[in-house]
Amino acid sequence: MTVFGTVGKYELGRTLGEGTFAKVKYARHVGTGEPVAIKIIDKERILKPKMIEREISTMKLIKHPNVVQLKEVLASKKRVYIVLEFVDGCELFDLIVQNGRMEPETARKYFQQLIHAVDYCHSRGVYHRDLKPENLLLDSKGDLKISDFGLSALSHQRWEDGLLHTTCGTPNYVAPEVINEKGYDGAAADIWSCGVILYVLLAGFLPFDEYNTYDLYKKIEEAEFTFPSWFPEGAKHLVTRILDANPKSRMTMPELLNDEWFKINDTVVKCSYDDFSTESIDGIFKSEEENFAVEDTTPSLINAFEIISMSEGLDLSGLFKEQKCLIKNESRFTVKHPANEILKKMVNLANTLGFRTRRKNYKLKMLSQKPGRKGCLAVASEVFAVGPSLFMVDLKKVNGDTIEYREFQREMRVGLKDIVWKLDGDTSNEAQHSSRQQKDHL
């Protein structure tokens, strides 16, 4: 391999791909020789850093053999380096372009791998939102790998109605409810995209394809498509159920996994739900040090604009009582005790409730040792400094059942009641005085 430079412990090789603000290079670990792909992002050219941060956070949650794995993230003053598993094959899209439609057995194998990976993502509260053959890679063994989580969403991004509202995706593969802009269920929208992919694999062309966008969207909204004569009978029923314009009657993931045609020669891969990572990666766009290895010695300082954006309207009192915001899986409270004391008490309380904990600086991860209705409940927390003697604790669900998380919140509030500073009522003199002090400080 010709070496064109180094990044941390990796030697950079040829360019694999290049976009508007990033390029992907082949690289090799100096110590082990392991091949990787490194996505190099120019910080100055990024218009929406949060999109990159969300992609990294999402990929940290996913550990599945049919998803491209994130190995680590490095950063320098000018660039971010996302180190990814190197997939030594091709895009599924290229295979379709070269060979046309696939044999039913081959198409089913890829579809099974896709569905099991998507099902795993959904169990982790991750919705891809841009599933298409171009984002599906094949390795040298012929196994499928989902890539590109740049448009993905996490479950806590859902609005108060429990739906996502950002219109995104590739037109030919997007679900009708996404086009309608009235809110959509991320899981149901992903399943629709999977149905389009299966149709393409077996037919060799798209079910919805028009030059005019209006005509294309009209066909999608009406689920207007036909099957070619060679389409397998068993798969027709499956695709028809998936490409149902009504998301409420559309085939669900459990129904899909139990479909007779789908189950033929299906192999389920066991995956771990314990390995989770929820560290904030905001620092990658502020890092001045190579390898992003600077440790925090004090809690991050949160400014007035960030506080206002978190509260309801411009009323900062919303910070001092349980949030009724659009993100149901997140809550905040304020304390006047030292940050280390707060975290120590939270660790002890979490251990008492049967959670394993991992602390790094002023961030805390808590994972239930007992599986619940939707896997093990995972909660992430971080302490922010609001002022010299006032701190804010941010608590959010990363994985697991929302009802179980609500119970965890209640137990946490009860256990921390002696250190939590909260307003007993907007009309109390003490509350008004405290609120005025806070606003004056800001």
Binding-site residues, in ranges, read 48
Helices (H) and strands (E) in the chain, counts: 13, 18
* 127 residue type, one letter: Y
Report the Cα 38 to chain-centroid distance in Å. Answer: 20
Spatial separation of the C-alpha atoms in residues 43 and 35, rounded to whole Å: 25
Rounded to 5 degrees, φ, ψ at 403 are -65, -40
Report the candidate in 88, 192, 82, 71 with the shortest Cα–Cα distance to residue 137: 88
> Residues 378, 276: contact at Cβ < 8 Å?
yes
Spatial separation of the C-alpha atoms in residues 10 and 26, rounded to whole Å: 10
User: Which residues make up each annotated binding site for ATP?
Assistant: 48
Rounded to 5 degrees, φ, ψ at 235 are -80, -20
Give the bridge partners for 301, in sequence order.
385
How many Cβ atoms are within 10 Å of 307's Cβ, its own excluded?
A: 18
Spatial separation of the C-alpha atoms in residues 59 and 53, rounded to whole Å: 10
Which of the residues are catalytic? 130
Q: State the Rg of the chain over Cα.
A: 24
Spatial separation of the C-alpha atoms in residues 331 and 322, rounded to whole Å: 6
Report the candidate in 205, 174, 192, 172 with the shortest Cα–Cα distance to residue 102: 205
Sheet bearing 90-91, strands edge to edge: 90-91, 136-138, 144-146
Spatial separation of the C-alpha atoms in residues 232 and 261, rounded to whole Å: 10
Spatial separation of the C-alpha atoms in residues 81 and 83, rounded to whole Å: 6
> Residues 58, 152: contact at Cβ < 8 Å?
yes
Signed CA dihedral, 36, 42, 48, 53: sign only: positive
* 348 residue type, one letter: N
> Residues 349, 357: contact at Cβ < 8 Å?
no
Rounded to 5 degrees, φ, ψ at 187 are -65, -45
